[in-house]
Amino acid sequence: MYDCVVIGAGIAGAVAARKLAEEKNKKVLVIERRSHIGGNCYDEQDAYGVLIHNYGPHIFHTGMEDVFAFLSRFTDWHMFGHEVVAKVDGELIPVPFNLNTLHMVYDRKLGKAAADALEQKLIGAYGEGSRVPIMKLRENEDPDIREIAQYVYENIFLKYTMKQWGQKPEEISPEVTGRVPVLISYDNRYFQDKYQGVPKDGFTPMFEKMLAHENITLQTGVDCCKRLTFAENEIYLDGVKFTGDVIYTGALDELFDCRFGRLPYRSLDFYFEHYDEHSYQGHSVVNYTVSEDFTRITEFKYLTGQQDANGTTIVKEYPFAYSGAEGEIPYYAILNEENQTLYEKYKALTDGMKNFHLLGRLAEYKYYNIDAMTKKAMELAESL
């Protein structure tokens, strides 16, 4: 009845399903455990009519033309240069730390001339327009640059990272802190990609259009663990041997009853608040890098561009260690050698199954943005 099965209707599953259905003319069954599609990109209107991102703020950004062109078939965009500020000493400063931030901090501390000299030092050391990871900046031997690095480390990275990961910046993968480098430029944007924004009518309608294809059958509220079984490198769907391709985008340990122990993840609690006011913070995202127990506050109307909302809705994010308890969601793989070894142990259980493919943030135990995930899903579907 079906040629392929895709587990999960997040960006990975939805893109792969669409490509297989449309370009390979495959009959695709998509099984999604949640009651909705979109995975963590899911958005909807709250009780007040404000469009919110239920699983935290999502901004699409990419420099990949093919990815942008593919997703643009299913949505128009509300494009903007996404900016983030951090609340430090009662002031809102641009993040990533850039030359604007440098002057905000050091003009007052040292005077304009000294701040200009610091700027020239940074440009001399790294070149105008460069992106320097904080952990690299800290290695610089010039005392003035070290002082800047120390300021950035203490005021932007240390406490935020402790909240987000329960570990210090030097204890986590440099790949993670490297996502938010120090920018030797006056660019206040959080990302430097050519295309950035959100789907004009929201992410969920984009997913609806992507999955609306005559070759796609979508079943939500269904856990694949109840449908798929494995024996001797064969896959069984509802007890019947299935020889077509199966793409799995869920957590790999769950598929095998966590028999080697759980793969560690960080999770988040989202606390939504609605205010009967025009504006709460006047910014889409404010990071709390030195105070509070939450990492950031997102005010959705500044992210989505929604004009007709009554009042405003915000969300605060409280990180914690994922335990696997009912209702918890594994959001962030914790990238280190030990966890990678455990992941490989699970992956080895799938190696003999040539028609079984692991795709996605969970199944690959990786840190993917939406665009990289889209690209990977496109490539996988093309290869099948």
Which of 85, 88, 373, 381 is close enough to bind ligand FAD by CB under 6 A?
A: 373
Which residues, including other chains, have CB under 8 Å from residue 102's CB and lie 6 or more apart?
115, 118, 119, 122, 148
- In the complex, what is the shortest distance from the CB of residue 15 to ligand FAD, in angstroms, rounded to a whole number? 8
Between 163 and 375, CB nearer to ligand UDP: 163
The whole-angstrom separation of Cα 139 and Cα 170 is 12
Contact 159, 167 (CB under 8 A): no
# residues near ligand FAD by CB under 6 A: 34
The whole-angstrom separation of Cα 247 and Cα 252 is 12
The whole-angstrom separation of Cα 336 and Cα 349 is 21
The whole-angstrom separation of Cα 266 and Cα 27 is 36
Which of 6, 16, 26, 32 is close enough to bind ligand FAD by CB under 6 A?
A: 32
# residues near ligand UDP by CB under 6 A: 14
- In the complex, what is the shortest distance from the CB of residue 55 to ligand FAD, in angstroms, rounded to a whole number? 6
Q: Decide: is 179 part of the binding site for ligand UDP (CB under 6 A).
A: yes
Q: Decide: is 28 part of the binding site for ligand FAD (CB under 6 A).
A: no
| Partner from ligand FAD, ligand UDP, none binding residue 164, C-beta < 5-8 Å depending on class | ligand UDP
**Stretch of 19-27, 63-71, 285-293, 369-377 contacting ligand FAD, by CB under 6 A:** 369-377
Q: Decide: is 7 part of the binding site for ligand FAD (CB under 6 A).
A: yes
The whole-angstrom separation of Cα 14 and Cα 19 is 9
Q: How far is CA 353 from CA 98, 179, 233, 264, 358, in A?
A: 48, 34, 5, 25, 11
Which of 316, 369, 375, 380 is close enough to bind ligand FAD by CB under 6 A?
A: 369
- In the complex, what is the shortest distance from the CB of residue 164 to ligand FAD, in angstroms, rounded to a whole number? 10
Q: Decide: is 12 part of the binding site for ligand FAD (CB under 6 A).
A: yes
Which of 101, 155, 249, 287 is close enough to bind ligand UDP by CB under 6 A?
A: 287
The SS3 assignment for 237 reads strand
DSSP-assigned beta bridge partners for residue 114? none
Q: Decide: is 177 part of the binding site for ligand UDP (CB under 6 A).
A: yes
Q: Decide: is 350 part of the binding site for ligand UDP (CB under 6 A).
A: no
Which residues, including other chains, have CB under 8 Å from residue 300's CB and lie 6 or more apart?
50, 51, 52, 53, 57, 284, 306, 312, 313, 314, 315
Q: Decide: is 94 part of the binding site for ligand FAD (CB under 6 A).
A: no
Record the tokens describing residue 223, joined without a space. Answer: 């856990």
- In the complex, what is the shortest distance from the CB of residue 156 to ligand UDP, in angstroms, rounded to a whole number? 5
Q: Decide: is 287 part of the binding site for ligand FAD (CB under 6 A).
A: no
Q: Decide: is 95 part of the binding site for ligand UDP (CB under 6 A).
A: yes
Between 113 and 325, CB nearer to ligand FAD: 325
Q: Of 62, 83, 94, 28, which is closest to residue 298 (Cα–Cα)?
A: 83
- In the complex, what is the shortest distance from the CB of residue 53 to ligand FAD, in angstroms, rounded to a whole number? 8
Q: How far is CA 268 from CA 54, 156, 293, in A?
A: 11, 20, 12
Binding residues for ligand FAD, rule: CB under 6 A, are: 7-13, 31-34, 39-41, 56-60, 223-225, 249-250, 268, 331, 360-362, 368-371, 373
